Amino acid sequence: MSADLIEMIYDAALDESRWTDFLSRTAEEFNSGPTVLAIHDLRGRFNRVNLWVGADLSTTKEYEEHYVRLNPWMQNGRMFSEGLVARGEELCSQNALEKTEFYNEFGLRRGVTFTLGTAIQISGSAVLYLSVNRGIKAETFRAGDAELMSCLVPHLRKAMRIHQHLAAAKMYADATNVLPVGMLALASDLSILECNGIAQQILNKRKFLTVCTGKLTAADPNVRTSFECFIKSASVRDREKTNSSFVYQLPDVRSQNRLSVLAVPGKDDLLTGVRSRLLLILIDPSRREEETAPRLCSLFGLTSAEARLTLQILRTKTLTEASRSLGISRNTAKTQLSSIFLKTETQSQPELLRLLLAGPLRFRV
């Protein structure tokens, strides 16, 4: 067996577009025609040809829609023993095969009269199998061909597990980018290994967190030491041996907003030696303000400054605290509030709060 064939199996595990290359090379190795990677449902609910080389699309469609149900080889339970390699005549005698509709109406026309296959993986009632096929003018598959495929089986099974783990990891990574929180993985030296889109936005703003000499740290110099102590404490594997909190409220360097940081200890990567010390989950309350402010502008015709003041009043309940949080004078805040009353058709802060909190809009900050 050629070493490049095994190498191609693992290449395909990492890049699913390479499975076609593997099947083409497999067809060469076995001197076969149609070579198939397909999924068969033992309950008969579906049959899907994932890849088929050595045949055109009409062959694939014809097989999936009709002839797979007439395939005498697939009707033998032995074909569906995980990892077992079987030749066609071990599943159905040649005499019996030649009397079937499958053989006479499909096999002879499509170059599928001799087969050699294996069930790579069985999950529930779904069977992933590989088969190589030859036409009537070729020789039947011999014991040496079966031995060759048997050598491929353990590599194929490992490759499928690798492929599935990578697919699951990609699905998880895609999911983290639609979550309403930031997610950030740290190595033991506090360098960032991975982060989702929201975490990157939080880093870019440099209000709560920043990167200094390649390491994550607090944007506010006054809390950097305590934040680093939090990171070290949260890195302890056995939580029962530490009294440290695993949630940290990180202040904004420009306002009174705080970023909630939840730390989850990670695991070491034994292969690369990289230690994923922590997964940080970042919850930024100001993001909700960023999402809500445009709604206020749209519904009531508020300016951006007026929308920000409205949301601060919702949060702090007093004009003085709201103006301080926004870094504006109280007189400026009073002027903006008068405009807000006019546009929302309210006359006082309590009435404004009732409109936003108890009314049909139900704003939350």
The pLDDT of residue 355 is: 80
What confidence tier does 242 reach under pLDDT thresholds 50, 70, 90? very low
Cα Rg of the chain (Å, integer): 32
- Cβ(262)–Cβ(283) below 8 Å: yes
Instruction: Convert the pLDDT of each residue in 132-180 to its tens digit.
Output: 999 999 999 999 999 999 999 999 999 999 988 888 777 666 766 666 6
Judgement on whether residues 207 and 99 belong to the same structural domain of the protein? no
Residue 310: CA count within 13 A, CB half-sphere: 34
Give the model confidence (pLDDT) of 17-45 as tens digits: 999 999 999 999 999 999 999 988 777 66
Considering the domain boundaries, does residue 362 fall inside one?
Answer: no
Of the listed ranges 79-88, 159-168, 242-251, the one predicted with least confidence: 242-251
Return the closest-CA partner of residue 339 out of 312, 311, 300: 300
Do 301 and 226 have their domain in common? Answer: no
Angle between helices 349-357 and 304-316 (to 10 degrees): 90
In a domain, 364, yes or no: no
Minimum mean pLDDT range among 11-20, 266-275, 328-337: 266-275
The answer to which of 10-24, 53-67, 236-250, 295-309 has the lowest mean pLDDT is 236-250
Domain around 344: 287-357
Chain-centre distance of CA 144, in angstroms? 41
Q: For 305-323, what is each residue's pLDDT tens digit?
A: 998 898 888 777 688 888 9
Per-residue pLDDT, 317: 64
Looking at the structure, do residues 352 and 226 belong to the same domain, yes or no?
no
Q: What is the CATH number of the domain that holds 347?
A: 1.10.10
- Residue 11 is part of a domain; what is its CATH number? 3.30.450.80
Joined tokens for residue 291: 């999402």
Same domain, 101 and 123: yes
- Looking at the fold, whether 223 and 338 belong to one and the same domain comes out as no
Judgement on whether residues 264 and 346 belong to the same structural domain of the protein: no
Tell me what pLDDT residue 325 has. 83
Same domain, yes or no: 49 and 169: yes
Using the predicted structure, report yes or no on whether residue 2 has a pLDDT greater than 80.
no
Indicate which CATH number applies to the domain containing 261.
3.30.450.20
Residue 236's pLDDT band, with cuts at 50, 70 and 90, is low
Tell me if 365 is assigned to some domain: no
Percentage of the chain lying above the pLDDT 70 cut: 84
In a domain, 109, yes or no: yes
**What is the pLDDT, as a whole number, of residue 149?**
95
If asked whether residues 279 and 291 sit together in one domain, one would say no
pLDDT (average), residues 342-355: 85
Count of domains in the chain? 3
In terms of C-beta density within 10 A (0-12 exposed, 13-18 middle, 19 or more buried), how is residue 278 classed? buried
Indicate whether 106 belongs to any domain: yes
Statement to judge: residues 273 and 298 lie in one domain: no
Q: Which of 54-68, 93-107, 232-246, 253-267 has the lowest mean pLDDT?
A: 232-246
SS3 94: helix
pTM given for the model: 0.57
Residue 266: per-residue pLDDT: 66
